[in-house]
Structure 1
Amino acid sequence: MSEALPLLKPGPGELPAGVHALQTTRTGGVSTGPWAALNLALHTGDAPDHVAENRRRLEQSLGCAAPIAWPRQVHGTTVITADALQAALKAGDTPEADAVVSDRPGAICAVQTADCLPVVLATVDGAAVGVAHAGWRGLADGVLEATILALNGLRPGVPIQAWMGAAIGPVAFEVGPEVREAFRAQDPEADAAFRPGAGGRLLADLYRLARQRLQRAGVAQVAGGGRCTFTEAETFYSYRRDGATGRMGTLVWFAPDPAR
Structure 2
Amino acid sequence: MNDTWIQPDWPAPARVKALTTTRTGGVSKAPYDTLNLGTHVGDDPSRVADNRGILRQALPGEPRWLNQVHGTTVVDAAVGDGVPDADAAFTRESCRVCVVMTADCLPVLLCDRAGNVVAAAHAGWRGLFDGVIEATVAAMGVPPGQLLAWLGPAIGPDAFEVGGEVRAAFMGHDPASGAAFRPSPNQHKWLADIYLLARQRLIRAGVTGIHGGDACTVSDPARFFSYRRDGATGRMASLIWLA
Fold shared, TM-score > 0.5 on shorter chain? yes
Unaligned runs of 5+ in 2: none
Which residue in the other structure is 1:195 paired with? 182
Which residue in the other structure is 2:9 paired with? 11
Q: Does 1:35 align with 2:23?
A: no
Deviation string for 1:195-227 (max 9, x for gaps)? Answer: 000121000000000000000000011000110
Which 4+ runs in 1 deviate beyond 4 A? none
SS in 2 for 1:42: coil
Query: Letter of the aligned partner of 1:77 in structure 2?
Result: T
| Distance change in 2, residues 1:37/1:250 (3 Å) | same
Q: Does 1:248 align with 2:233?
A: no
Cα contact 2:72–2:132 (8 A) shared by 1: yes
SS in 1 for 2:107: strand
Pairing partner for 1:104 from 93, 103, 125 = 93
Task: Work out the number of aligned pairs and report it.
Answer: 242
Query: Letter of the aligned partner of 2:20 in structure 1?
Result: Q
* CA–CA distance in structure 2, aligned partners of residues 196 and 57 of structure 1: 42
Which residue in the other structure is 1:173 paired with? 160
| Distance change in 2, residues 1:210/1:158 (3 Å) | closer
* CA–CA distance in structure 1, aligned partners of residues 219 and 235 of structure 2: 16
* CA–CA distance in structure 2, aligned partners of residues 247 and 151 of structure 1: 26
SS in 2 for 1:252: strand
Deviation string for 1:235-255 (max 9, x for gaps)? Answer: 000000001000000000112
Identity of aligned residues (%): 52
Pairing partner for 1:22 from 19, 23, 28 = 19
* CA–CA distance in structure 2, aligned partners of residues 12 and 68 of structure 1: 22
The offset of 1:5, in angstroms, is: 5.0
| Distance change in 2, residues 1:48/1:157 (3 Å) | closer
Unaligned runs of 5+ in 1: 256-260
Pairing partner for 2:42 from 45, 54, 57 = 45
* CA–CA distance in structure 2, aligned partners of residues 103 and 208 of structure 1: 28
* CA–CA distance in structure 2, aligned partners of residues 253 and 128 of structure 1: 9
Within a 5 Å distance, the mapping from 1:106-185 to structure 2 comes to 106-152=95-141, 155=142, 159-185=146-172
Over the residues paired in the alignment, what is the CA RMSD in angstroms?
Answer: 1.3
Cα contact 1:5–1:61 (8 A) shared by 2: no
Pairing partner for 2:76 from 69, 75, 81 = 81
Cα contact 1:124–1:158 (8 A) shared by 2: no
* CA–CA distance in structure 2, aligned partners of residues 253 and 157 of structure 1: 19
SS in 1 for 2:119: strand
Q: TM-score, normalised by structure 1?
A: 0.90
Query: Letter of the aligned partner of 2:54 in structure 1?
Result: R
* CA–CA distance in structure 2, aligned partners of residues 16 and 73 of structure 1: 28
The offset of 1:156, in angstroms, is: 5.7
Cα contact 1:30–1:36 (8 A) shared by 2: yes
* CA–CA distance in structure 1, aligned partners of residues 10 and 179 of structure 2: 29
Which residue in the other structure is 1:219 paired with? 207
Query: Letter of the aligned partner of 1:27 in structure 2?
Result: T
* CA–CA distance in structure 1, aligned partners of residues 179 and 145 of structure 2: 30
* CA–CA distance in structure 2, aligned partners of residues 97 and 233 of structure 1: 28
| Distance change in 2, residues 1:207/1:158 (3 Å) | closer
* CA–CA distance in structure 1, aligned partners of residues 67 and 37 of structure 2: 13
SS in 2 for 1:35: coil
